[in-house]
Structure 1
């Protein structure tokens, strides 16, 4: 598989359901490009393994395809938010590598 990098800016938001997960949404145009190129590598529920970078923090994670909005969601663990001082509703720059 060829490694592709995608850079985007997105707002941090909290899922209102059970668990209070914090996410950033991968923009529609980037999500479409990723899905067209890498759908065959998705696991159950549209999970796609990636490397992510915010600020100086790199980590291995996954994005999840949101079929309702036709975009991928990147969950932000507490550890990452603390390291990079990420607050809800803030706009952040993200780089993901697939």
Structure 2
């Protein structure tokens, strides 16, 4: 299964650390929530993600605040793809194990 979407990059700050995310849109989040996958910590789902020319493995996490799943965006990816705050990101996301 391959999901593609566009969403803005946003920052969540905890203490002195900054975390960057893209929120998975509602329809795609609903699709992820319905996958018959074994339970993982914090309700996460392992995924392979491609943004531009960069592909990596990570997990998406459910977020009540964002009303769906959120995708963490590593610093290396943001720099490699020239992404900054509020930039709209084209994402291809493939759940692992489906």
TM-score, length-normalised on structure 2?
Answer: 0.88
1:27-46 → structure 2 map (5 Å cutoff): 27-38=25-36, 40-46=37-43
Task: Please tell me whether residue 72 in structure 1 is matched to residue 64 in structure 2.
Answer: no
More strand per residue: 1 or 2?
A: 2
- In structure 1, runs of 5+ residues without a counterpart are none
2:9 corresponds to which residue?
A: 12
Q: Deviations over 1:28-80 (max 9, x none)?
A: 11101110124x33411111110000001000111111134331100011100
Q: For the residues of structure 2 that align with 1:20 and 1:50, how far apart are their CA atoms? A: 22
Q: For the residues of structure 2 that align with 1:54 and 1:74, how far apart are their CA atoms? A: 11
SS at match of 1:32: helix
More helix per residue: 1 or 2?
A: 1
1:94 corresponds to which residue?
A: 91
